[in-house]
Structure 1
Amino acid sequence: MLRAPRRLPCPPRRAASTGPGPGRRLLLSTPIFYANGPPHIGHLYSALLADALHRYRGLRGAGPGRLSTGTDEHGLKIQQAAAAAGTSPPELCERVSGLFRQALTQAAVSFTDFIRTSEPRHQRAVCHFWGALRDSGALYKGCYEGWYCTPEECFLPESQLAERRDAQGRPCKVSLETGHQVHWTKEENYMFRLSAFRGPLRDWLRDNPQAIAPEPFYRRVLRWLEEEDLPDLSVSRERSRLPWGIPVPSDPTQTIYVWVDALVNYLSVVGYPEGHGQWWPAARHVVGKDILKFHAVYWPALLMAAGLAPPERILVHSHWTVRGQKMSKSLGNVVDPAASMDHYTVDGFRYFLLRQGVPERDCDYYEEKVVKLVNSELADALGGLLNRSTAPSINPSNTYPSFSEACFPKLSDHREANGPGRACAEDYELVASVASLPLQVAAYFEGFQIYKALERVALCVRQSNGFFQRHKPWKLDRTDPGEQRWLDTVLHVTLECLRVYGTLLQPVTPHAAHRLLSRLAVGPEERGLSALTFLPRYHGKPSPFEGRQLGPDTGLLFPRLEMPRRTRADTKELRSPTNGCCK
């Protein structure tokens, strides 16, 4: 029996600054994905959110950054899945972990670290972390009994259970949140003094209102801490029942609880216990709402007990449903990321998930929505504008045309566009919108609202198409010097808008953005946010692009998508009023 300490260690009250900070290190992480089955779009969505944040930070030149992901390979679910598949847990994990690595690589997720909890470096970190918990007095051994949920790998209090009937009609208890059945379990385990950390956790959150985002999830965690029980946490399992896991140091009869094991991965990737000080606690975890309590309550408390500060931020997202239903193998509606990327292209599927996914609420997936969105916003609006403004019939010299200040004079108030130039009020509104776009996008990325950043980009792309259509450059008389100057100015403004969009879309559609910027002859060193000065000639400053030869024409920026073939029954289902939309 471990003796209780007189006082548990008090952690630092405030985590590292959440501000951008030039040159500051930052770890971004996805959850590590449970290796009991292949990836689906929920996994991919987590990874794409983290990847977009990581790529955007690179555009800002904000300092060294890492993006970690990987697979969680221990626990009862893995043990059971391996037995059901007629294989061993290591063989199952090797195969499934490879599927996740392959899917994330195909999706162009720019991870720097892929951690597997079966790796020696991770097991060493977990054992050291356990020792820190033990030495702080945060652990004790006790007999624990309660309702255990195998799929969630945790005990649940009565307040989180409901009465249901199983497949045979017998009464049973299930998890209120997930619907998974629970079973009464009694065993002697090591316990973590979670109840002692209610006050420190509340102080941490109140001192750091940006610690959990979006804000509804922050409020949810505060409610848990203020209104619900916070019983001590069982952090080991009998090894006779669960041999597939990391043994408790100095007690081979016990296996470390899979969630304690898994959460330590965020330290393993930064070199814990020796090298983590350069990175921790400057970490931002991207997680699904179903694992919020593990990351926002258990993990910070464990860190505090081990003498470490909580992570800088926990960024939470909701789930994807498919035609209004939860994804499940039994329904046969699990969306395969690889097949989706093959059909809709990598950039198309990335754009759809990040454009339509709203972290605060669940969103619905169906094929028509993907095709309609990608065709309208990428193929038609963005790709069409690039192709029309660089077409040989419009721009036979294949150059970045000159800007005429006489045609488009700078005004102090765009609402008074009655001057001697040819630009109208809507043209000045476009210039103002695009000029403010980079700062708006920065604010939305920092606020974990990537979908709003893409909404703003899409709105500006529509404005740019309106500008191009309004002035009909294909009808201007090239033999008239005045008309030629105005034609060049219209093209210059259009290409400047496209350069901004291509730069800002790099974290979301990296391949298409690369092709767009290459077509505009924007060099690799000119693609960061520090070089993103929009329309300098409008402000009387030189433009490095004016007169530059455009890059080679690579054809369509984005091909229009076709609907996958469907049966008549599928089509009928698509028309059902139950097919909701997240927005």
Structure 2
Amino acid sequence: MKWLQTNWVKCLRPPFIQKAYCTHSPCGSKERVFITTPIFYVNAAPHIGHLYTALLADATARFHRLHGKEVVFSTGTDEHGLKIQSSATKVNKTPKLYCDEIAAKFKALFDRTDVSYSHFIRTTDETHVSAVQNFWKILVKNDYIYQGKYEGWYSMADEEFLSEEEVCDQRMETGESQKISVSSGHPVVWVAEENYMFRLTKIKPKLLEWLNTGVIYPREKRSQVDIALRNLQDLSVSRSRSRLSWGIPVPGDSTQTIYVWLDALINYLTVAGYPDHLQHWPADTQIVGQDILKFHTIYWPAFLLAAGLDLPKQIVCHAHWTVDGYKMSKSRGNVVDPQERMNKLTATGFRYFLLRSGTVFTNCNYDDAVAKDIVNAEIVNSYLNMLSRVSSKSINKHTIFPSFNEEDFQTFFTKEERSMFNRLPDLIDICNGYYNGLLCHKVSEAVFEYIRWSNKLFNDHVPWKLCKDPANDRHLHCLLHVTMETLRVCSILLQPLIPHIAGQVLDRLGISKGDRLIKHCLERQLVHRIKDHPLQCQKNHIMQRIK
């Protein structure tokens, strides 16, 4: 228990999160929080990197709901562009049919893993098409769009324009040299065509002012943005419709298609009701992967500034998931299929492993054996085993959650044990800080330290012996209360990570649906718990050990 004894004071709310999560609703209504994931490109089926982004956003959304806040949580799919057009052609399908099939796979994956989105947006939705075209007209009206000639490097795989500093030469097996993107490694081609340009350079001073407020988290990710800022040029925001027909037409010019990233980024406004009923904007937290950070910290705020709209309060950039140390890619053959893995680890187990092992700071490596061991050791052997022990009829003969007795607590427990239990409210503050910082792995670390402690406490007091003599009932009931109360608090705090299983544990403990918010962690003397109350009987195991 060394970690718990030495780190309480260090785990206050992180300073980088202070100004976020402060969207106030009208007087008398709930505080509202708007959280987004990027919309995911449907050129291929979803992999664990996509799922991790959605789960990180979901855990954050659930955390805010546990504080009684109203949460708007959007995710969805990005369905236009050259890459989609090309992918659909390769499989002999229309782009719309192709998008429908892949979008359904994303939705099914998120539903299976309990991603509690309030909006699943698709860029092929009519409301979104209308929003994008309206936004385009505003940019034209504000003199940020002009006709011109674009010349430069373009990566079709990334749908991205690149400066000379962002490309390099790569020697191919044939001995020839190929220009590639430094960040993604994808080939680039030189593009020269007449289209519409966005006055990105005009926005640079205001863009820098926003970036300098520390809006990017983690702060270290800012260096990636600075590279793109050094060679900032006006941005090509359309394509010839003869080359790209699968996209939103430029209003008033049927020969041009709106650039896929301008189209895609507007999805956040579409969800917020733009243009007629814009509400709960700006977004409080926008979660992205590091490969699309430039789009969300340069292009996106620039578009908003040009349209006269408020900027997001925070851009969270998480690291990649790798396999054997390499970024997942179809060419390398190391893409992890989340649906297939969930058939082995269960949806809850897989969800827990990703949130427990992933971080926003450094790349995380996926390994099947490690995932299985973690799920078995922490969820099954520690967490659910604790529940099984305290609810066992051989020990808890009346299957009750006993009330607390201070005198018995002082009598039967050591000073160290009493101190540890009395510090349980500190765990709430720690987890609040970690959830605010999107540090789900740290939440897991802190909570499971307490769960392991409660298991050890249970062993140390040998309840299988206490239960044999009625003279020990006071001692046994106090032990059951301490371990169950620890389990109750930990389960409330684990709801954003494993909502289905944590909910089942709270059901078994007899905790009503209305008593599962963060504030209830501190209320040990709830009205229905002043006296002993029965546990909920359940014959089946919540989760079996994974083989």
Length-normalised TM-score, structure 2:
0.92
* SS of residue matched to 1:391: coil
Provide the residue aligned with 1:372 in structure 2: 373
Distance between the aligned counterparts of 2:531 and 2:314, measured in 1? 43
Asked whether 1:160 is paired with 2:162, we answer: no
The verdict on how the C-alpha distance between 1:546 and 1:296 changes in structure 2, with shifts beyond 3 A counting, is farther
Provide the residue aligned with 1:43 in structure 2: 50
Distance between the aligned counterparts of 2:400 and 2:305, measured in 1? 59
Asked whether 1:82 is paired with 2:94, we answer: no
Shift of 1:480: 4.8
User: Structure 1, residues 107-161: CA drift from partner, whole Å, max 9, x if none?
Assistant: 1111111111111100000001111111111111111111111011122111011
Instruction: State how 1:246-285 maps to structure 2 within 5 Å.
Output: 246-276=248-278, 278-285=279-286
Structure 1 residue corresponding to 2:217, chosen from 198, 203, 213: 213
Structure 2 residue corresponding to 1:531, chosen from 514, 520, 524: 520
Asked whether 1:19 is paired with 2:4, we answer: no
The verdict on how the C-alpha distance between 1:238 and 1:117 changes in structure 2, with shifts beyond 3 A counting, is same
The verdict on how the C-alpha distance between 1:16 and 1:163 changes in structure 2, with shifts beyond 3 A counting, is same
* SS of residue matched to 2:408: coil
Provide the residue aligned with 1:8 in structure 2: none
* SS of residue matched to 1:173: strand
Distance between the aligned counterparts of 1:240 and 1:542, measured in 2? 70
CA contact (8 A) 2:23 2:32 kept: no
Instruction: State how 1:328-367 maps to structure 2 within 5 Å.
Output: 328-367=329-368
Distance between the aligned counterparts of 1:517 and 1:160, measured in 2? 52
| Residue identity matched to 2:495 | Q
Instruction: State how 1:470-489 maps to structure 2 within 5 Å.
Output: 470-476=460-466, 478-481=468-471, 483-489=472-478
Provide the residue aligned with 2:153 in structure 1: 147
Asked whether 1:239 is paired with 2:228, we answer: no
Asked whether 1:52 is paired with 2:42, we answer: no
Distance between the aligned counterparts of 2:314 and 2:531, measured in 1? 43
User: Structure 1, residues 439-458: CA drift from partner, whole Å, max 9, x if none?
Assistant: 11111111121211111111
| Residue identity matched to 2:35 | L
Shift of 1:221: 3.3
| Residue identity matched to 2:486 | C
Provide the residue aligned with 2:487 in structure 1: 498
| Residue identity matched to 1:216 | E
Asked whether 1:441 is paired with 2:419, we answer: no
| Residue identity matched to 2:430 | Q
Distance between the aligned counterparts of 1:363 and 1:199, measured in 2? 36
Asked whether 1:175 is paired with 2:181, we answer: yes
User: Structure 1, residues 217-243: CA drift from partner, whole Å, max 9, x if none?
Assistant: 245435654xx2211111111111111
* SS of residue matched to 1:287: strand
Structure 2 residue corresponding to 1:28, chosen from 28, 35, 50: 35
Asked whether 1:191 is paired with 2:180, we answer: no
| Residue identity matched to 1:212 | I
User: Bigger CA drift: 194-203 or 494-503?
Assistant: 194-203
Distance between the aligned counterparts of 2:105 and 2:444, measured in 1? 29
| Residue identity matched to 2:244 | L
* SS of residue matched to 2:334: coil
Provide the residue aligned with 1:316 in structure 2: 317
Asked whether 1:325 is paired with 2:291, we answer: no
Distance between the aligned counterparts of 1:527 and 1:29, measured in 2? 25
User: Structure 1, residues 69-127: CA drift from partner, whole Å, max 9, x if none?
Assistant: 11111000001101111111111111111111111111111111111111110000000
Provide the residue aligned with 1:388 in structure 2: 389
Shift of 1:518: 0.7
Provide the residue aligned with 2:12 in structure 1: none
Asked whether 1:65 is paired with 2:55, we answer: no
Distance between the aligned counterparts of 2:121 and 2:283, measured in 1? 18
Asked whether 1:109 is paired with 2:111, we answer: no
CA contact (8 A) 2:179 2:188 kept: yes
User: Bigger CA drift: 511-520 or 167-176?
Assistant: 167-176
The verdict on how the C-alpha distance between 1:489 and 1:367 changes in structure 2, with shifts beyond 3 A counting, is same
* SS of residue matched to 1:352: helix
CA contact (8 A) 1:248 1:254 kept: yes
Provide the residue aligned with 1:119 in structure 2: 125
The verdict on how the C-alpha distance between 1:75 and 1:224 changes in structure 2, with shifts beyond 3 A counting, is closer
Distance between the aligned counterparts of 2:160 and 2:527, measured in 1? 63
Aligned pair count? 526
Distance between the aligned counterparts of 2:59 and 2:85, measured in 1? 34
Distance between the aligned counterparts of 1:430 and 1:542, measured in 2? 25
Structure 2 residue corresponding to 1:133, chosen from 128, 133, 139: 139
Gaps of 5+ in 2: 1-17
Identity over aligned pairs, percent: 43
CA contact (8 A) 2:58 2:117 kept: yes
User: Structure 1, residues 23-73: CA drift from partner, whole Å, max 9, x if none?
Assistant: 2222211111111111111110011011111111111102x2211111111
CA contact (8 A) 1:435 1:534 kept: no
CA contact (8 A) 1:16 1:281 kept: no
RMSD of equivalent CA atoms: 1.9
* SS of residue matched to 1:552: coil
* SS of residue matched to 1:230: coil
Asked whether 1:452 is paired with 2:438, we answer: no
Distance between the aligned counterparts of 1:219 and 1:427, measured in 2? 47
Gaps of 5+ in 1: 1-14, 410-420, 563-583
* SS of residue matched to 2:291: helix
Length-normalised TM-score, structure 1:
0.87
User: Structure 1, residues 283-336: CA drift from partner, whole Å, max 9, x if none?
Assistant: 421110100000011101110000101112111111111122221222322111
Asked whether 1:561 is paired with 2:546, we answer: yes
Shift of 1:429: 3.8
Shift of 1:21: 5.5
Provide the residue aligned with 1:508 in structure 2: 497
